[in-house]
Amino acid sequence: MKNRLKVLRAERDWTQADLAQALDVSRQTVNAVEKGKHDPSLPLAFRVARLFERQIEDIFTDDEKGTS
pLDDT band for position 4 (cuts 50, 70, 90) = very high
What angle is formed at CA 64 by the lines to CA 61 and CA 68, rounded to 5 degrees? 130
- For residue 62, what pLDDT band results from cuts at 50, 70 and 90? confident
Q: Is residue 43 part of a domain?
A: yes
Residues in the chain: 68
| Tally of domains in the chain | 1
Boundaries of domain holding 7 = 2-56
Average pLDDT of the segment spanning 1-20 = 97
Instruction: Answer yes or no: is 67 within a domain.
Output: no
- The string of pLDDT tens digits covering residues 21-41 is 999 999 999 999 999 999 999
Check which CATH number belongs to the domain holding 52 and give it.
Answer: 1.10.260.40
Alpha helices by DSSP H, listed for the chain, are 5-11, 16-23, 27-34, 42-52, 56-59
